Amino acid sequence: MTSPALARPSDTELLTLALDIASEAGRMIATAREGTVTVADRKSSSTDVVTQVDRDAEALIRHRIAEARPDDAFFGEESGGGEGSSGLTWVVDPIDGTVNYLYGIPHYAVSIAVVEGPADPAHWIERVGVVLNPATGETFTAVRGGGAFLGDRALSIPTPPALDQALIATGFAYDAELRGRQGAAVAAMLPRVRDIRRLGTASLDLCNLAAGRVDAYFERTLNPWDHAAGGLVVQEAGGVVVGRGGNAPSREFLIAVHPDLLASVEDLLDEIRA
């Protein structure tokens, strides 16, 4: 029988556990980066790489969760899913921004979310999110209904500028043909906005929006682990995270933005066939 204490933890307890696990994984990842990091395998394409550190970090995270919350489900980028009976699922990306990590670019993150329900954005309810950058030490957190934070600083997305003054973040798919179309769409967008940023880590792109560092973010072909934690940070900072036409975010599309800028961004994306 599932223990009531395990089945119904407080969000504060879940956040504390997620922070502890992310911090431990982050230390391991940062230490490994002091040595030589190489490609261990390729996944969906020749540019979609994984390092052994990705795998080791997810194994550590999965083990720590299983120790503390054996009845919870797990869904990770590297090792897939695991069944649970508590109604909670841990959605994990051990190193979001693996290519940045591989090259030593200090823009990558451990992303850990706890959701109620399955690892499906159309059906889950995000409860806790942690996004930690091991290279800089920045840690973003959010609890459903409890706000979003960068360290101890509460986050609130500022009132956005007009679209032509907006700084837009995006990312590209691994599929070569789709990347070509995305590049053409970005070229069409550039004259219509302040500028474009492509930093290579979806979870941190979302958190940058929550921190007011960009004004909007959109991307295609994201997986649940890419945006589960960062998406909650955006929502708790006052933003919206949606797919096209108000649907839930999915591999087809994700847009994150202040509500006042959503319609303008959607119209532009339609115009440029993004």
How far is the C-alpha of 198 from the C-alpha of 201, rounded, in Å? 9
Which among 238, 232, 203 has a CA at the least distance from the CA of 219? Answer: 203
Is 210:140 a contact under the CB 8 Å cutoff? yes
The verdict on whether residue 270 carries a ligand-binding annotation is: no
Distant-in-sequence, close-in-space partners of 101: CB < 8 Å, separation ≥ 6: 29, 33, 37, 51, 53, 95, 108
Q: And the tokens for 150?
A: 């960068």
Q: What are phi and psi of 117, to 5 degrees?
A: 105, -165
- 17 is written with which tokens? 């556990």
77 labeled binding residue: yes
Binding-site residues for Mg(2+) sit at: 77, 93, 95-96, 226
Binding-site residues sit at: 77, 93, 95-96, 226
